[in-house]
Structure formats: C-alpha cells, structure tokens
C-alpha cells in the first residue's frame, strides 16, 4: 500500500514542486528516510487491530491485564498513525491542485502542501520516535555511586579523589543533593573507596552511564623520574530506592533471606564496654550479595544504610536482568552491564579525555574534571543509547 | 596537622577506628554540635575519654540523644533489645499504656519507646538517684519532644518524665509520689557490674562513667533483688504487664530464676544481643 501511494504522487517532483520551499523535505524523501520506522509503526497499529479483534470476539480477554495494558499502550501510536494517514490523504488532494489552471488555486495548494508536508515530517521525525521509545522506568530514581581504586596504588587513590570532586561539581549544576555516605581514605593521601548518594529525579538515569573502569594516564606528583603511570578507578552506579518508598518486605527480598551479622567481638559488652562498635554486615543468601557498613555511629544507622545499599544492589540486578532480556533483540546498546570494561581514559599529558564506548574525545581535560565537560560525555552517551534503542527497534522483524 | 592528629589517635585506637572517629569529630564541628577544636577533642580522646562524651551525643535507634559525663552512655546492646521490645508490644492511642524505667540514666530506654510506639500510646516515667542523670533525661525528653507538661491532659503525644527516687528504698513510690503503679511495662538497665569485674574495666568506662550506674554489688545482682521485691508488690504490675531487664553477660540465668521465683509471671525468656550474649530477661505476667 505504501509503495503504491508513494508512486501516486509524482506531481511533487514537477515544475510546481521546484517552486516549492526547499527547507522542507518532500513526502518521498520523508518516507524513504523513515521507511523502517514507518514499518514499525504500522506493525504496532496492526498489532492493536489484532488485539481489538481478540477482545471483541472473546470477552474473557477483558480480564487479561497484559492484553489490556498493551492495547492501551498502543493507543497513542494508533492515534498518531491515523493523523499521519489523514494528513497524507489531504496532501495528495492538495498536490492534485498544484497543476490547476487557476493560478490562485495553485498558490493555495502550494501553501497547503507545504504545511501538510511539514506536519508529516514532524510526525515521522519527532512524534513516532517519542512514542516508540518506551519511557524510562527508572526516571524518578536517585543514584548510589560506588568508587573503588583499582590498579596504580596511591595514584589510583588520588585519581579517585579527583573523580569524586568531578561528580560533586557536576551535581552542583543539577538539583540533586549529594552526600558521601562512606569513605575510606588511603594511606598518605587520596581516597581508597567511597560511596556517594545523588538524591533527586533523574540522577540514576543520568549517572548510570558512568559505570565502568575509568583510566588515568599521568605523571604522579610523587614520581620523581617523570614517568607516566596508568591507574584505574572502577565505578558502579546503582539505582537508589528512597526510604519512603521502602517497606519491610518488598518484592526485592524477604527478611528470611537476610543474614545480619555484627562485626568485631565486644568482650563482655553492655555496661562493660563503651567503645563505638557499630559495624554490621548483611548477607542476602539467595544471591550471596554482602554489604558491610561501618561509617555511622550506631548499629541502627549502619543497618539502615546497609539495607539501603542491599536494595540498590538487588534492584540493579533486577534492572540488569531485564535489560539483558531485552537485549536478545537489541545488539547496539551502549553496554551498561559489563562493569569490568574500560569506558574512559583521562590523559593528562595530552590534556584530553576519550570515551571508548562512543569514540568521543574532548580536548579539554580540565573542563571535564571541573564537571562542565562531563555533561558533554553524559549527554552524548545518553543520545547514543536512545538512537541504538531506536535502531534496534527498527531492525525487529 | 590532620595527619598528626590521625597518628596520635591511631596509637590508641588503631588506624581504621581512628580515621572513623576523626571523621565523626570533624562532622560534629561542621554541624556546630560542639564548640571544642579538633585538637582538643583528639587529645581528650587520647587520654581515654569516651567519644560519646566528647561529641556530646549518641545515636540511639532513630533518636540522637545528648550524652554528658558521668551519666551512663547508651549502649548498642540496649538499643537492640529496646527496639525488639518495641516490636513485641503494640500499644495504641485508644489503649495507652504506662511504663516505669528503673535507673533511667540518659532516659534512652523510655525515649526510644516513646519514639517507636504510636503517638498517644505511652506514658513513661523514669526514676534515678543521680541529679546529673535526671537533668540529662529531662533535656533529652525535651530534645525529642516527649517532655511532659504538668497539667497537660492531651494524649496526642507520648510523654516521658524523670523523677528523683531510689528503688532500693522500702517506701519507693509509696507516699504521695507523682508516679503511680500499676505499670504495664517495667524496664531497667540497672548497674550490674560485679566487684571482680569492676577492677578489670577499661579506663574509658571506670574513669569517666558514673560508678553508681555501673556497680551492682559483690555479684552485680543487688539491683535485681530490689526489682524482684518491687514487681512482687501487690498492685505494682497490671494483669498483662511485661518486665524487661538488661543483664550482664553471665547473669541471665540468675535473673531469670529470680523473676520466676516471684511466681508472678506466666512466662520468662532470655534475649541474645547482636554479639550472641544473653542480654535481656523478659518476663510476662
């Protein structure tokens, strides 16, 4: 049907169309550029029709929540598609008047063609993609970032401190609140590891692209011979579930699966001892995930923090699994799951930062470390991800 | 300078604990909870003073309580059993209960229960003989918003009041006291350290915390005998009362037997603390 219609509008390429304002693409161009997209939209509309038939033939499907939800989900796409077809029809009619003997009529038709074409262009390039890409289910979530120094000894710890500062600066430009919830200073200077909470809408969706190994190449301040060292810091960004959203038993785990231990012996304990021994360790038996927490001054606080981290880890596991499942049909995604992968190199000698996932190099290392340049990376990767999702969707059969 | 402080703290606490405590001191300064300098705090700590006195506070469950020498510092073992006690009973504003805490010290036990139970469900009293303890307990009650206004009949909040009295006295709560039995819950973390153990205590305990809050007689059981007499009194407990007593690491059996011996209780049990020590004897009428 599509091809037939495409062929039926040659007038756009005639003399009239040459007078046509070329800031707009022609319908043929729009349909050619977006042909895979339009196929997907049409598939969705067909799917909805099939669902509708099913529902009207068999009323028991009305109780099927999955079917009903899908039916409802597809409604905006069908509406947009209907707008597309009716606009397209109007365009055809308008086109047929482009060669009208009446000059005034021709002019009117031309104006209408122009406006209708621009409507179609916007449908194809903005409306359809926005309706096809599923909205983020993690949009509201805050983030918990864990940084661990890797190879490179004290130089890695120094670099970790630089990265921590970079993210704090970055967060200053947002509405999030930042809190370092755990931190171990390295011998000498620098930070061995740290956990940071970024609280606020969109924090997880923005920062999750920072998960992976960050590599620094520079001459350490302590290096007399001036040799360049390579050190790494591993970052994991987890979704953070706000305490207000928590219940004692939610679908992430059940209390029976938790082993809670206090660390360190306390001798006789009670009145005999007034040392601050507040460290706790949680083990989630089914997954083997353990969380130790000792940065707070009371058992109660450390336990609360530990449960919060456990929830984040379990939620992360769940999201990663869901992403893996979806990925069976999508191959081009920015890899989010493999955290052992080197994602970025900060080269001080050359003053540049390279993100290996998208091959983007910024020549302003300082601006990245000050938090401004980081926006460029994060935005580019998010955009790349969105495009990949779209591309994968278009590949589906 | 920071490194020097860290080093001197590390010599007494070990590196990890030292850097943690230094961080908490810095946080207390940053939040203006203390006026002392980091230097002063570290040198006090190196001389053995408990961190909780230096910082002036100790988190206890969701509360942040004031600590002042020489009043006994709230312990994590106590925090643990009080939270468990809070879960094992469920008073409501419709059926509020009364509680007596014997030797209340900082007021930590009744105040945590005030916090954890629904508003209007608890009217708590604490007794102590130490004027330091009484004033700290009242300050903590005010800080947590559970001070009892005299003549305030509203039941919209839980309340706690600390009263000077000695529960070793024979006429304890007998003559015209503002605290009247019967009680639905009796709690206590009485002094339970014995003579022998007293000599082996860490200096941060024996040199800084009130001996009257620690020392429980030759075998550490003096105050449990007094409590045994009290709960045996006619009309002291309600017909469904619970008594929860913290005990020293070797005393649970002796105290449990004492409570059983009163013939007042339907059941008794011993709760372990997070470190596996028998820590609390719970008796139910």
Q: How many helices (H) and strands (E) are present in chain A, helices listed first?
A: 13, 11
Ordered by where they begin, the domains of chain A are 2-132 (no CATH), 142-240+329-395 (3.30.70.1660)
A110: tokens are 């031309």
Report the C-alpha gap between A351 and A361 in whole angstroms: 10
Write the pLDDT tens digit of every residue in B70-127.
Answer: 999 999 999 999 999 999 999 999 999 999 999 999 999 999 999 999 999 999 999 9
For A264, the 3-state DSSP assignment is coil
State the average pLDDT over residues A174-196: 89
Q: With beta carbons under 8 A apart, name residues in chain A contacting B80.
A: 299
Q: What is the pLDDT of residue B153?
A: 55
A213 pLDDT higher than 60: yes
pLDDT value at residue A341: 84
Looking at residue A220, what is its pLDDT? 81
Interface test with B, best of A270, A279, A292 (most B CBs within 10 A): A270
User: What pLDDT sits at residue A278?
Assistant: 85
On whether any CB of chain A is under 8 Å from the CB of B116, the answer is no
Q: Closest Cα partner for A239 from A315, A170, A353, A333?
A: A315
Q: Do B59 and A273 touch (CB under 8 A)?
A: no
Q: Are B274 and A262 inside 8 Å of each other by CB?
A: yes
Band of residue A26 on the pLDDT scale cut at 50, 70, 90: confident
Mind giving me the DSSP string for A243-262?
GGG--SSBTTB-GGGEEEEE
Radius of gyration of chain A (CA): 28
Structural contact between residues B37 and B25, judged by C-beta atoms closer than 8 angstroms: no
Strand, coil or helix: B238: strand
Backbone angles phi, psi at B118, to 5 degrees: -60, 150
B76-284 homologous superfamily:
Vaccinia Virus protein VP39 (3.40.50.150)
- B102 phi/psi in degrees, rounded to 5: -95, 120
Contact yes or no for A184/A193 (Cβ under 8 A)? yes
Phi, psi (5° rounding) for residue A100?
-60, 150
Q: Which of A185, A260, A300 sits opposite B59 (nearest CB)?
A: A300
Contact A110, A16 (CB under 8 A): yes
Q: Which of A260, A272, A297 lies nearest to residue B205, judging by beta carbons?
A: A272
Q: What letter would DSSP give residue B193?
A: B
Answer whether A207's CB lies under 8 Å from A143's CB. yes
Q: Is the pLDDT score of A134 beyond 90?
A: no
Residue A179 has pLDDT above 80, yes or no: yes
Domain boundaries, chain B: 2-47, 76-284
Are B58 and A268 inside 8 Å of each other by CB?
Answer: no
- A334-343, B15-24, B64-73: which has the minimum mean pLDDT? A334-343
Give the integer Cα–Cα distance in Å for B21 and B19.
Answer: 6
Residue range B204-245, pLDDT digits in tens: 999 999 999 999 999 999 999 999 999 999 999 999 999 999
Cβ-based neighbours of A375, under 8 Å, separated by 6 or more: A170, A173
List the structure tokens of A290: 């353990």
CA nearest to A76, candidates A140, A121, A130, A156: A130
pLDDT tier, B272 (very low <50, low <70, confident <90, very high otherwise): very high
Q: Do B20 and A300 touch (CB under 8 A)?
A: no
Interatomic CA distance for residues A282 and A304, integer angstroms:
11
CB distance B108 to B73 below 8 Å = no
- A299 contacts on B by Cβ (under 8 Å): 76, 79-80, 274
Chain-centroid distance, C-alpha A68: 27
Range scoring the smallest mean pLDDT among A219-223, B56-60, B243-247, B257-261: A219-223
Residue B118 DSSP symbol: P
Contact A300 B197 (CB under 8 A): no
Nearest-10 Cα torsion for A152, A157, A160, A165: -140
Q: Write out the DSSP string of A122-188.
A: HIIIIIHHHHHSPPPTTTT-EEEEEEEE-TTHHHHHHHHHHHHHHHHHHHHTSS-EEEEEEEEEPSS
Task: Summarize pLDDT for A85-114 with one digit per residue, the tens.
Answer: 999 999 998 888 888 888 888 888 899 999
Alpha-carbon torsion, ordered B11, B15, B16, B18, to 10 deg: 40
A271 touches chain B (CB under 8 A): yes
Residue whose C-alpha is closest to residue A148's, from A167, A161, A129, A131: A161
Residue A20 C-alpha from the chain's centroid: 40
Helices A65-73 & A75-96 angle (0-180, nearest 10) = 30
Residue A254: per-residue pLDDT: 86
Mean pLDDT taken over chain B:
92
For B211, the closest chain A residue by CA position comes to A271
CB pairs under 8 A between A and B: 90
Query: Can you tell me the ipTM of this complex?
Result: 0.92
A224-254: b (≥16 Cβ within 10 Å) or e = eeeeebebbbbbbbbbbbeeeeeeeeeebbe
**Chain B residues closer than 8 Å to A275 by CB:** 202, 204
What's the predicted TM-score (pTM) here?
0.73
Task: Tell me, yes or no, if B195 comes closer than 8 A to chain A by beta carbon.
Answer: no
How large is the average pLDDT for residues B57-66?
96
Q: B77, A262: Cβ pair inside 8 Å?
A: no
Check if the beta carbon of residue A392 is closer than 8 Å to that of residue A331. yes
Contacts of A300 in chain B (CB under 8 A): 59-62, 79, 83
Which residue in B182, B185, B168 sits closest to B283, CA to CA? B185
Task: Determine the pLDDT at residue A334.
Answer: 45
Q: Is B52 on the interface with A (CB under 8 A)?
A: yes
Can you give the pLDDT at residue A337?
47
Chain A positions in Cβ-Cβ contact with residue B23 (cut-off 8 Å): 183, 295
CB B245 within 8 A of CB A270: no
Residue (of B101, B96, B137, B134) closest to B118 by Cα position:
B96
pLDDT at A4: 40
Residue-level pLDDT at B151: 52
> To the nearest whole angstrom, how far is the Cα of B60 from the nearest Cα of chain A?
7
| Consecutive H or E run containing B278 | strand B278-284
Strand B57-60 to A191-199 pairing: unpaired
Under DSSP, is residue B123 helix (H, G, I), strand (E, B) or coil?
strand
**Lowest-confidence range among A29-33, A170-174, A346-350, B83-87?**
A29-33
Per-residue confidence at A21, pLDDT binned at 50, 70, 90? very low
Select the highest-mean-pLDDT range: A392-396, B87-91, B154-158. B87-91
Q: What residues of chain A lie within 8 A of the CB of B73, using their CB?
A: 274
Residue B246 has pLDDT above 70, yes or no: yes
pLDDT on residue A249: 43
Contact residues, chain A, for B251 at CB < 8 Å: none
Please compute the mean of the pLDDT values over residues A159-166 and round it to a whole number: 95
Contact A262 B275 (CB under 8 A): yes
Nearest CA in chain B to A274: B205
Q: What is the mean pLDDT of chain A?
A: 83
The answer on pLDDT for A123 being more than 50 is yes
Q: What is the mean pLDDT of residues A308-334?
A: 73
């Amino acid at each position: 049907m599509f091809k037939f219609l495409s062929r039926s509008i040659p007038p756009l390429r005639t003399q009239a169309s040459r007078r046509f304002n070329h800031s707009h693409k022609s319908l043929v161009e729009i349909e050619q550029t977006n042909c895979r997209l339009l196929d997907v939209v049409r598939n969705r509309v067909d799917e909805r029709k099939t669902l509708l038939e099913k529902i009207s033939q068999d009323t028991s499907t009305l109780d099927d929540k999955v079917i009903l939800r899908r039916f409802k989900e597809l409604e905006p796409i069908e509406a947009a598609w209907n707008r597309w077809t009716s606009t397209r029809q109007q365009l055809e009619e308008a086109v047929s008047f482009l060669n009208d003997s009446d000059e005034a009529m021709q002019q009117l038709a031309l104006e209408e063609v122009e406006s209708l074409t621009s409507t179609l262009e916007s449908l194809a390039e903005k409306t359809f993609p926005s309706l096809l890409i599923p909205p983020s289910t993690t949009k509201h979530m805050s983030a918990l970032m864990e940084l661990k120094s890797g190879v490179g000894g004290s130089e890695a710890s120094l670099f970790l401190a630089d990265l921590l500062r970079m993210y704090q600066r970055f967060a200053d430009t947002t509405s999030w609140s930042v809190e370092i919830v755990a931190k171990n200073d390295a011998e000498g200077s620098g930070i061995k590891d740290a956990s940071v909470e970024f609280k606020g809408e969109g924090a997880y969706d923005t920062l999750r692209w920072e998960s992976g190994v960050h590599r620094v190449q520079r001459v350490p301040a302590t290096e007399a011979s001036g040799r360049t060292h390579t050190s790494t810091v591993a970052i994991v960004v987890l979704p953070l579930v706000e305490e207000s959203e928590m219940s004692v038993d939610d679908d992430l785990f059940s209390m029976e699966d938790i082993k809670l231990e206090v660390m360190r012996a306390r001798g006789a304990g009670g009145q005999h001892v007034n040392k601050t021994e507040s460290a706790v360790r949680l083990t989630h038996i089914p997954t083997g995930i353990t969380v130790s927490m000792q940065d707070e001054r009371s058992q109660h606080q450390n336990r609360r923090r530990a449960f919060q981290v456990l929830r984040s880890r379990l939620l992360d596991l769940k999201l990663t699994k869901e992403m893996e499942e979806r990925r069976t049909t999508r191959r081009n995604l920015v890899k989010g799951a493999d955290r052992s992968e080197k994602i970025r190199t900060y080269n001080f000698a050359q003053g540049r930062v390279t993100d290996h996932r998208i091959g983007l190099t910024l020549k302003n290392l300082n601006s990245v470390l000050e938090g401004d340049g980081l926006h460029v990376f994060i935005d580019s990767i998010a955009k790349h991800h969105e495009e990949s999702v779209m591309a994968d969707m278009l590949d589906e059969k | 300078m920071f490194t020097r402080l860290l080093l001197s703290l590390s010599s007494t606490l070990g590196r990890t604990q030292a850097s943690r405590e230094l961080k908490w001191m810095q946080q207390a300064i940053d939040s203006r909870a203390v006026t002392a300098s980091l230097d002063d705090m570290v040198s006090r700590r190196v001389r053995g003073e408990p961190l909780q006195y230096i910082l002036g506070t100790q988190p206890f469950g969701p509360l942040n309580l004031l600590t002042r020498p020489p009043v006994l510092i709230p312990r994590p073992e106590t925090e643990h059993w009080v939270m468990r006690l809070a879960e094992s009973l469920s008073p409501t504003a419709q059926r509020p209960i009364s509680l007596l805490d014997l030797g209340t010290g900082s007021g930590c036990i009744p105040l945590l229960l005030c916090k954890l139970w629904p508003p209007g469900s608890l009217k708590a009293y604490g007794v102590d003989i130490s004027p330091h303890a009484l004033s700290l307990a009242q300050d903590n009650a005010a800080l947590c918003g559970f001070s009892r206004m005299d003549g305030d009949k509203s039941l919209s909040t839980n309340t706690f009041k600390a009263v000077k009295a000695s529960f070793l006295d024979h006429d304890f709560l007998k003559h015209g006291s503002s605290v009247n039995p019967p009680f639905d819950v009796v709690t206590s973390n009485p002094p339970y350290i014995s003579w022998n153990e007293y000599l082996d205590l860490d200096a941060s305990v024996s040199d800084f915390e009130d001996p009257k809050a620690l020392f429980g007689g030759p075998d550490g059981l003096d105050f449990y005998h007094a409590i045994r007499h009290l709960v045996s009194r006619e009309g002291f407990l309600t017909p469904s009362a619970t008594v929860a007593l913290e005990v020293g690491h070797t005393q649970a059996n002796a105290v449990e037997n004492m409570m059983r011996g009163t013939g007042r209780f339907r059941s008794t049990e011993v709760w372990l603390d997070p470190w596996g020590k028998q820590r609390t004897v719970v008796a139910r009428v």
